[in-house]
């Protein structure tokens, strides 16, 4: 029911109540009036329509106001409020949250600067001395403090820099709570696309800010800033994104080709583990290819359903389940697969961690009833029965012995695939650490560097205690950017100290399911 309809109902019910002196009509009037207040509060924007001139109060006064509003929210309990007050409480909390996000942006820029910094170091390589660049070493300090991934810290820092350099109205709207952090990041992404269309890197310290292209970028960004911030104040993030895309394409249609070329570098395929045996297989590709792939999947799924119906076989699978199976069948199909075969036999390097007792189904054993599957992009728990089926179905399976501490589950030894001590040690480190030892980093140990906690040239030994997995970026930060690895233990535990003096602990990983957390 709209506010206008409610107002009409109010007038009618109030007139009836006054003429008839009917208590029922009066109660109806009270109920409709309360509902009208809720609808009006919910339909109103978070603040008044954003206008940069209307919020030109000193920043100190704004921070005082927001601090007072935050204290007011902290003292209230939403369940104890009336219906109207709960909606207002929500809106005030969202406004304070947006203001806090603007303060987070300010803190990130104070730590890392408003322009991207690249440090060049000279290291010994296979062909003599080589130059290696370390981008934004301070970004890792932010990621550690906020418990973000490196990619998340990079995205947030880039958006904060873009807002500071090119989008003052968006920054101000975020500060006063007129739009959300998600909307501000959408607008910042639009400004980044404008810069790409002009062959500029808006956040680079090396960008010439006196060239004609930069002045053109400022003009386009100013138009985007004003129009998008007004739209965002009354819209959702998804609608803001659609509006930003239209604005960017309208401001710089000639740059569309360059933006499309740059976007191809962000294509890829990866897996995002979920729960209960499901994972997302995500592919970013050309739009035409994506739609062609979807058409193939739909066609095969329809054929699978039609075949089942023609054969008189009951099939209660949903369309989503059918399409998932069709997609897997298309991707795993090989040229040597026989037409009448049940399906292709695929061999992949996937590790499954399971105790021997659980695998042999030993009676009276306290072994856990789950195993861990280590895929290309993460780990997932699965029932032991599925592992036994894997062995029983005749798939190509290779066993490797993983010797663990019976109490902690920490890896003690791993059987070698080849009788080469250095390879055996490397495999031990990979299976012990599983991931890069940098706190919060999710890079797989199999693709990381084998790092000496104490440098080899400084007398560091190649032992389990002194070796660990570090991805290339964090290896470079530890070696050249002032980050220190203070302690390293045989079980993989270690600690890092950042350039600011803060210390972070990395705990050893358990390689068996349901191991106690110590």
The DSSP annotation for 323-382 comes to: HHHHHHHHHH--TT--TTSS--------EEE--HHHHHT-TT----SEEEEE-SS-EEEE
| Least confident piece of the model among 102-111, 217-226, 271-280 | 271-280
- Greater pLDDT, 42 or 474: 474
- In this structure, what token pair is assigned to residue 116? 């991207």
pLDDT tens, 232-279?
988 888 889 988 988 988 888 888 778 878 888 888 998 888 877 788
pLDDT tens, 356-372?
566 655 444 555 566 66
Nearest-CA neighbor of 70 among 100, 103, 102?
A: 100
Which value, to the nearest 10 degrees, does the dihedral of the CA atoms of residues 22, 24, 26, 31 take?
-170
**Gap between the Cα atoms of 218 and 239, Å rounded:** 24
**Gap between the Cα atoms of 446 and 436, Å rounded:** 9
Backbone angles phi, psi at 30, to 5 degrees: -60, -40
Task: Please report the pLDDT score of residue 225 as a whole number.
Answer: 94
Task: Please report the pLDDT score of residue 292 as a whole number.
Answer: 82
- In this structure, what token pair is assigned to residue 143? 């990621």
Percent helix, strand and coil across the chain, each to the nearest 5: 55, 15, 30
pLDDT band at residue 317 using 50, 70 and 90 as cut-offs: confident
Q: How far is CA 137 from CA 134, 154, 210, in A?
A: 7, 11, 27
Question: Looking at residues 293-297, what average pLDDT do you find?
Answer: 88
pLDDT band at residue 50 using 50, 70 and 90 as cut-offs: very low
Strand partners, 273: 279
**Ranges of H-type helices in 372-483:** 384-392, 421-433, 472-480
Backbone angles phi, psi at 268, to 5 degrees: 170, 180
pTM greater than 0.75: no
Q: How far is CA 430 from CA 152, 197, 351, 424, 425, in A?
A: 25, 42, 12, 10, 9
pLDDT tens, 167-182?
999 999 999 988 999 9
């Amino acid at each position: 029911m709209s506010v206008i309809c409610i107002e009409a109902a109010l007038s009618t019910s109030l007139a009836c109540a006054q003429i008839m002196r009917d208590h029922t009509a009066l109660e109806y009037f009270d109920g409709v009036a309360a509902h009208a207040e809720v609808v009006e509060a919910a339909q109103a924007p978070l603040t008044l329509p954003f206008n940069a001139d209307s919020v030109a109060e000193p920043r100190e006064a704004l921070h005082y106001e927001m601090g007072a509003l935050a204290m007011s929210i902290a003292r209230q309990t939403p369940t104890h409020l009336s219906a109207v007050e709960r909606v207002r409480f929500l809106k005030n909390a969202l406004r304070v949250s947006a203001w806090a996000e603007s303060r987070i942006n300010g803190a990130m820029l104070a730590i890392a600067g408003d322009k991207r910094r690249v440090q060049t170091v000279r290291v010994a390589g296979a062909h003599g001395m080589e130059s290696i660049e370390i981008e934004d070493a301070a970004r890792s300090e932010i990621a550690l403090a906020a418990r973000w991934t490196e990619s998340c810290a990079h995205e947030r820092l880039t958006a904060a820099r873009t807002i500071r350099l090119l989008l003052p109205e968006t920054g101000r709207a975020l500060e006063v709570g007129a739009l959300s952090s998600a909307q501000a990041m959408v607008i910042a992404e639009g400004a980044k696309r404008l810069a790409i269309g002009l062959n500029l890197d808006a956040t680079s310290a090396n960008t010439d800010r006196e060239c004609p292209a930069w002045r053109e970028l400022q003009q386009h960004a100013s138009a985007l800033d004003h129009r998008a911030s007004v739209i965002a104040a009354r819209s959702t993030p998804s609608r803001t994104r659609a509006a930003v895309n239209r604005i960017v394409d309208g401001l710089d249609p000639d740059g569309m080709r360059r933006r499309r070329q740059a976007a191809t570098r962000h294509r890829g395929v990866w897996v995002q583990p979920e729960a209960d045996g499901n994972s997302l297989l995500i592919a970013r590709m050309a739009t035409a290819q994506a739609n062609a792939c979807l058409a193939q999947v739909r066609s095969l799924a329809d054929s699978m359903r039609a075949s089942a119906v023609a054969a008189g076989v009951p099939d209660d699978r949903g369309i989503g389940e059918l399409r998932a199976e069709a997609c897997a069948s298309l991707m795993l199909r090989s040229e040597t697969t026989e037409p009448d075969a049940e399906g292709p036999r695929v061999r992949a390097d996937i590790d499954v961690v399971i105790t021997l007792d659980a695998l042999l189904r030993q009676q009276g054993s306290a072994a856990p009833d789950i195993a861990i599957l280590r895929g290309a992009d993460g780990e997932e728990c699965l029932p032991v029965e599925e592992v036994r089926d894997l062995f029983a179905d005749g798939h190509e399976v290779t066993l490797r012995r993983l010797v663990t501490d019976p109490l902690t589950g920490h890896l003690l030894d791993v059987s070698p695939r080849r009788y080469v001590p250095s390879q055996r040690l490397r495999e031990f480190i990979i299976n012990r650490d599983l991931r890069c030892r940098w706190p919060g980093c999710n890079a797989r140990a199999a693709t990381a560097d084998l790092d000496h906690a104490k440098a080899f040239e400084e007398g560091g030994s190649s032992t389990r205690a002194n070796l660990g997995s570090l991805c290339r970026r964090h290896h470079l930060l530890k070696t050249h950017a002032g980050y220190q690895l203070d302690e390293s233990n045989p079980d993989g535990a270690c600690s890092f100290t950042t350039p600011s003096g803060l210390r972070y602990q990395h705990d050893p990983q358990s390689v068996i399911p349901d191991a106690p957390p110590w």
